[in-house]
């Protein structure tokens, strides 16, 4: 007789990362229960799972009372708006999902005796004064600025997660996610990858904020999910950076998108948003040592797959 499958819960399951994580968990033999209130998630990201006997989807807001019958082995808390456009439009919901929502989901983990993985963010470092950023850096965050609703919400979620680990012995992990890209991103979510690709494919000028000298480090989604899965199997409880340390300026990125899409559109420079980080680069020494993990997908390979996804998406869009 075969062993019963382990059950994993993924909050934010219809989002970009949540849907890719769900695919990985199913491939690893888990039964998966996905939750999403669909404020920023989209059922299109999980429609390929319709009819899968190992997948159940529940439309639910995790800031509300949370109950699930039966055994749960792992919980991945990925519910949260993650793009500037979203969390600037719905700041209170953003704060609630990482505070009340994290509290509720940790309570479920405690009740079920399940391990818990928090999707945190490099935004915990704010506009960093340390470069590259190590997990030991406490950050430079403006708590009352327009980005504070996201940055401070995630910092609170980390504190709540560690409190449940220390006070209730919940098996918790924290992944600090750096800029990630790939298929299933929303075309107009305000993040630089879909913004530049969408503008280039639509024949519009690419909007670079500031002079384009600010830097980002882009990790392809399959690499990120690999790192998160490895972390979920570890016994390490403090934050771990998962991202690609290959750094480039936003202007270099815009020029690459113009070249790879064959666009002839110019680059337009616009004012830099308040508190926009000037640099962003993960130090992944801990992930290498702890998980034996580092990114494998080169930028050109990943970005060409992403461009192809958006071409197909725009072709099918009514």
Instruction: Domain ranges for the chain, please list them.
Output: 7-316
**Could you give the angle at the alpha carbon of 18 between the alpha carbons of 16 and 20, nearest 5°?**
75
Residue by residue, pLDDT tens for the chain (318 residues) are 567 899 999 999 999 999 999 999 999 999 999 999 999 999 999 999 999 999 999 999 999 999 999 999 999 999 999 888 898 899 999 999 999 999 999 999 999 999 999 999 999 999 999 999 999 999 999 999 999 999 999 999 999 999 999 999 999 999 999 999 999 999 878 789 999 999 999 999 999 999 999 999 999 999 999 999 999 999 999 999 999 999 999 999 999 999 999 988 899 999 988 777 888 999 999 999 999 999 999 999 999 999 999 999 888 766
150: annotated active-site residue: yes
Second CATH level (architecture) for the domain 7-316: 3-Layer(aba) Sandwich (3.40)
Q: Catalytic residue among 55, 150, 181, 220, which?
A: 150
Is 125 in a helix, a strand, or coil? helix
Total residues found in the chain within this entry = 318
CB 51 within 8 A of CB 74: no
Exposed, middle or buried, 305 (CB in 10 Å: 0-12/13-18/19+)? middle
């Amino acid at each position: 007789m075969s062993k019963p499958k382990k059950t994993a819960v993924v909050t934010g399951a219809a989002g970009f990362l949540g849907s890719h994580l769900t695919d990985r968990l199913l491939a690893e033999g888990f039964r998966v229960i996905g939750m999403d209130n669909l404020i920023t998630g989209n059922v299109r990201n999980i429609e390929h799972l319709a009819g899968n006997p190992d997948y159940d989807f529940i439309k639910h807001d995790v800031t509300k009372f949370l109950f699930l019958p039966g055994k749960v082995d792992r919980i991945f808390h990925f519910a949260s708006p993650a793009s500037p456009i979203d969390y600037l439009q719905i700041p209170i919901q953003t704060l609630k999902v990482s505070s009340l929502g994290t509290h509720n989901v940790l309570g479920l983990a405690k009740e079920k005796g399940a391990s818990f993985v928090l999707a945190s963010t490099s935004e915990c470092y704010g506009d960093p004064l340390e470069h590259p950023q190590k997990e030991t850096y406490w950050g430079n965050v403006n708590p009352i600025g327009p980005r504070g609703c996201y940055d401070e919400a995630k910092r609170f979620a980390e504190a709540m997660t560690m409190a449940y680990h220390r006070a209730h012995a919940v098996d918790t992990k924290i992944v600090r996610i750096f800029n990630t890209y790939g298929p299933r991103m929303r075309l107009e979510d305000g993040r630089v990858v879909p913004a530049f690709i969408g503008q280039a494919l639509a024949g519009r000028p690419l909007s670079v904020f500031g002079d384009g000298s600010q830097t980002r480090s882009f990790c392809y989604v399959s690499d990120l999910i690999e790192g998160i899965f490895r972390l979920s199997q570890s016994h390490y409880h403090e934050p771990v950076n998962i991202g690609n340390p290959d750094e480039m300026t936003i202007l270099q990125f815009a020029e690459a998108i113009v070249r790879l899409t064959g666009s002839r559109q110019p680059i337009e420079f616009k004012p830099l948003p308040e508190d926009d980080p000037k640099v962003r680069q993960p130090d992944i020494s801990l992930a290498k040592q702890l998980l034996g993990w580092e990114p494998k997908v080169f930028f050109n390979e990943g970005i060409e797959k992403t461009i192809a996804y958006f071409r197909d998406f725009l072709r099918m869009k009514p």
